[in-house]
Amino acid sequence: MKKAYYKKILLTLAIWLVTQSLANAQIQCNSQYFTTQADVNAFANTGCNIVDGSVIITGAGITDLSPLSSITRINGTLSISQCNALSSLQGLNNVSQVDAIYFNDNDNTNFKNLQGLNGLTTIKNSLFVWKNDYLESFAGLDNLRDTLQWIKIVENIRLTDLSALSHITTVTGDPNKADGGGFTVKKNKLSSLAGLDSLTYVGTFFSLQHEDHLTDITALGKLSQITGQFAIQFNDSLTTLDGLERVISIGDQATVSNNSQLTDCEALCPFVLAGGAVIIGSNGGGNCDANFGTYCNSILPVVLSSFTVTAAGQTTQLHWRTESEENARGFTIQRSTDGVHWIDLDFTPAQGGVNSAYEYEWTDYRPKAGVDYYRLKLLDRDDFYTYSMIRTVLFDVPETALTVRPNPARDAVFLSTAGPAHFRVFDDIGRLMWTGTDNKVDVSSWPKGWYIVIATAGGHRMHSRFLVY
């Protein structure tokens, strides 16, 4: 009797375990193409949770996406276009991750926002939103976090609100794409860039053009680094560049032109005085003309002729030389571990004087392992300030916890750590080449030479080097 009883218990347990396993199983399917409502309805019978490919939704006959509610992840592009009869995006609310979103050419009065995508937290690559005539806001993307590779927001003639993008900090860009990735905002109805308040880094390029209603870009107040070109052009209501004061690193050049009301470009002076290249012209006058560099120098508290940073044992030696210090108050020495977030280390008073050379030295006795960035904040007695050029130095740390294979490499490298990590790859002069959590990095188009990879995991930093040949 006892044996039969225990067998019955074991059988019941086994059935329960199988049932739970089936309930938790993720069903995968290949790319899906929906051009009619019948196509959408038929998908409900598949039970598919993970689409290992793209989901293409297009066609005036599609009215209801609720049969797609089983989808939780799309390992490809979610494309929604020419859906002029679709009542809403409800049915996609369980999707948490996609590679890219293309939302375009939807002449639909129901699409005033992107409600229905509220479950989305991760877009691994691109967000393209263009030519949606009734779109007013990005509400529905409020849970989107941190990093994208490419954002293009173009020709949404009623779009006034980007506030749903307030958690985006980084747009990495993609130098391997034909037009480089990056961030493009063009021909919408934006009066401000509110919603981009967390943005600190844009890779490849940042283009802000033909925003005829734009008057305020102060939401870019945290933006400090753009690795390619920066273009502000044909924005006919913009009068000031206030908000760009922290942009001191642009990989290529800044172009500010054909903004008919723009008269105040002083916010870009820190970038120019740190050695950045700016093309300015055909604006509304003021200091936004070809003499902008001269204007910036006229308000410069200090003429800095050199600034060097070198490793000396387990310390960093900073040395700088000035040629003039009229009205100068002094120098704040700043350090960063990522080139974006800076801390103040010390303050050195200026010696004062006009047309006199002075030299300064300062030692950092506690540099951080890996790549350290240094700059000087030059202050005058009227509280105006500019920044020096950024210098970098590398301190070795144990490499055993981070491996890079193959090394040397020609096409791709694979990064390996003991657990999940965030990676950043720099060239030999400290420029960020790639960032992300994937362990594969395509280096096929990178220049030959040495690169530094830094892994951050659990509050710890590891680094290694590799050679591209």
Q: What is the CATH number of the domain that holds 457?
A: 2.60.40.3080
Q: Which two tokens stand for residue 7?
A: 């067998």
pTM above 0.85, yes or no: no
Q: Taking the mean position of all CA atoms in its chain, how far away is CA 401?
A: 27
**456 domain residue, yes or no:** yes
Model confidence pLDDT, tens digit, residues 337-347: 877 788 999 99
Cα atoms in the Cβ-side hemisphere of radius 13 Å centred on 384: 17
Mean pLDDT, rounded, of the chain: 85
Q: What is the pLDDT of residue 12?
A: 60
**Alpha-carbon distance 434 to 404, whole Å?**
15
Nearest to 208 by CA among 258, 158, 265, 279: 258
Q: What is the pLDDT of residue 22?
A: 40
Low-confidence ranges of the chain (pLDDT < 70): 1-25, 175-181, 274, 300-301, 353-355, 382-383, 396-401, 428-430, 458-459
Residues 320, 287: one domain? no
Residues 85, 157: one domain? yes
Q: What is the pLDDT of residue 300?
A: 66
CB atoms within 10 A of CB 27: 10
Contact 75, 51 (CB under 8 A): yes
**Alpha-carbon distance 334 to 375, whole Å?**
5
User: Which residue has tokens 């939807």?
Assistant: 106
**Alpha-carbon distance 337 to 325, whole Å?**
29
**134 domain residue, yes or no:** yes
Q: What is the pLDDT of residue 191?
A: 96
What residues pair up with 362 in beta bridges, in sequence order?
A: 318
Q: What is the pLDDT of residue 301?
A: 64
Residues 127, 267: one domain? yes
**Alpha-carbon distance 413 to 433, whole Å?**
13
Last residue within a domain, chosen from 298, 324, 339: 298
Last residue within a domain, chosen from 252, 277, 298: 298
Residues 35, 119: one domain? yes
Residues 384, 405: one domain? no
Model confidence pLDDT, tens digit, residues 155-194: 999 999 999 999 998 898 776 655 556 899 999 999 999 9
Which residues, other chains included, contact 1 with Cβ-Cβ below 8 Å and sequence gap of 6+? none
Indicate the SS3 state at residue 259. coil
Q: What is the pLDDT of residue 18?
A: 43
**204 domain residue, yes or no:** yes
Residues 384, 440: one domain? no
**Alpha-carbon distance 113 to 120, whole Å?**
14
Residues 46, 133: one domain? yes
CA angle 270, 338, 195 (to 5 degrees): 70
Q: Which two tokens stand for residue 212?
A: 């005829």
Last residue within a domain, chosen from 394, 425, 445: 394
For 66, the domain range is 27-298
Q: What is the pLDDT of residue 8?
A: 58
Residue 178: which CATH number?
Answer: 3.80.10
CB atoms within 10 A of CB 193: 21
Q: What is the pLDDT of residue 100?
A: 92
Strand (E) positions, 47-145?
50-51, 55-58, 73-81, 97-104, 122-130
